[in-house]
Structure 1
Amino acid sequence: MSHKLTLKALAPVTHDTNHYVFDRPEGIDFEPGQAAALMLDREGWRDEDRPFTFTSQPEDTILEFVIKSYPDHDGVTKRLPDLTEGDHVLMTDPFGAITDHGPGVFIAAGAGVTPFISILRRRSRDDALSGSQLLYSNKTEADIILKEEWERMDGLNPVFTVTDEESSDFSQGRIDRKFLEEHVQDFEGKIFYICGPEGFVDDVRDSLKGLGAEADNIITEEGW
């Protein structure tokens, strides 16, 4: 089923990521971490859908998304920042396998952090972040989405790493087996959430299994 949303506000989050606020039509139900596909309500674009994660809460009266744009690709994300208040997009029904399974280690690369925004915000609101970590990889510090918010969350242990900025004071390099060994304790029985490019998800999952994480405790999108 397709829903028509009206843009209420748009504001920058980073140099290439924006926060979008839409109205919320009736009949839309989702869990923190889930997503929906958005389409531009324009001629020639209504069949071009891309999945984006809700960053609002299920009980909110609006729908929010944090979306990274890729200007090198002439697609939906390149054109979304050109929307103005009152413009429309089309949205599918919600879907997604990444939902809240309890405190754990949230592992993300780039825009892969977006499914964790609503989950961690809700846990922060409910004072239920104890025992949770955020391991977050980006190319540069400027690419880190909501860095200050993660650092302010009481009970969350954020660890940032960058791959293309040698001058950064953060950890250098990708999230690999060595990185996981350095920053995670007790892999057995712990819940791990992974989101990012498909190759990233595969590599991190394999590393976690090799370090003793149980396959049933590794949460990713279906098919990844």
Structure 2
Amino acid sequence: MRQSYRAGNEKNLVMETVKILSIENATHDVVHLKTEKPADIEYAPGQAVDVALNSAGMENELRAFTITSLPTEPFLEFYIKIYSEHDGVTKQIAKLKKNDTLLIGDVFGDIQYKGVGVFIAGGAGITPFIAIFKDLVSQNKVGNNKLIFANKTSQDIIEGDYFHQHLGKNFINVLSMERKDGFMNGHVSESLIKSQMTSKGLYYYLCGPPPMMDEVLNHLEVLGIKKSKIIIEQF
């Protein structure tokens, strides 16, 4: 059922009520959630959608979450980081159960696959890349795409086994708060990015916390990467 809500000073937004099909923990602070799929929704792998709680007084509290299911799948899938220290939307989402409902709104997003490149993600910023790599895997087109994934600890890594399986040595993990065999320690550095620049014409896909993205953008500028080769969410 579609309903119309007003968010702040924005125009009326049409929201679809969808039932939760499953909800489980993906990591200690990320839930993996599947919902019904609105019949008229259209999106490309990497795009996001507005989501709200279907409860009184919360309909206007929109949050953007990447859709990680493929457009061909009969459900919507999300990986949502839970900020339990704040009494906000994600904390309430973590309390939901199968058959509870959410409101789904508009699709948007600039992160879409353009060609072979280096994907650089921080924490929950991996979500658009989950969708893109699922799409590449389904077409047998993973090729020489690389993923640099930065997290605080190994316990924070979302879908690590999946990326190891499909990317192998092209899956590089960087941990800022843990030293562990097989993982790099520190932050995504200029030298690390340079080491993955194995051919010309690569695209650079970025998604993560703003401070990290600013730092990575500075590295790419120093390395002489053209802005036309950088794919990042535009606000």
**Normalized against structure 2, the TM-score is what?**
0.90
C-alpha distance in 2 between matches for 1:206 and 1:69: 29
Which residue does the alignment assign to 1:201? 213
1:10 and 2:23 correspond: yes
1:221 partnered with 2:227: no
Quote the Cα distance in structure 1 between the aligned partners of 2:197 and 2:171: 12
How many percent of aligned residue pairs carry the same amino acid? 35
**SS of residue in 2 equivalent to 1:2:** strand
AA matched with 1:139: K
Is 1:54 matched up with 2:88? no
Q: Residue type matched to 2:221 in 1?
A: K
The alignment status of 1:185 with 2:175, answered yes or no, reads: no
Q: For residue 123 of structure 1, what is the aligned residue in structure 2?
A: 136
Matched, 1:136 2:142: no
Rounded to whole Å, the distance in 2 between the matches of 1:78 and 1:19 is: 14
Task: Select which of 132, 157, 162 maps to 1:149.
Answer: 162
- How many Å separate the matches in 2 of 1:83 and 1:109? 26
- Conserved? CA contact 2:123–2:157, under 8 Å: yes
Unaligned runs of 5+ in 1: none
Tell me the CA shift for residue 218 of structure 1: 0.2
- Which one-letter code corresponds to 1:97 in the other structure? D
Question: What does the per-residue CA deviation read over 1:147-187, in whole Å, with 9 as the maximum and x for residues that have no partner?
Answer: 1100000577100010011345410011121322234334x
Cα distance in structure 2, aligned partners of 1:16 and 1:37: 21
Count of aligned pairs between the two proteins: 222
Task: Please say if residues 6 and 89 of structure 1, whose CA atoms lie closer than 8 Å, have aligned partners that are also in contact.
Answer: yes
1:75 Cα offset (Å): 1.2
- CA–CA separation in structure 1 for the residues paired with 2:181 and 2:155: 10
Task: Check whether the contact 1:135–1:160 (CA below 8 A) recurs between aligned residues.
Answer: yes
Aligned to 1:163: 176
Among residues 57, 75, 78, which one is paired with 1:44 in the alignment?
57
TM-align CA RMSD: 1.5
Q: Retained in 2: the 8 A contact 1:189–1:213?
A: no
1 CA distance for matches of 2:81 and 2:44?
Answer: 21
Which letter maps to 2:84? P
Structure 2 gap ranges (5+)? 1-13
Aligned to 2:107: 94
Give me the whole-angstrom Cα distance separating, in 2, the residues matched to 1:163 and 1:104.
Answer: 24
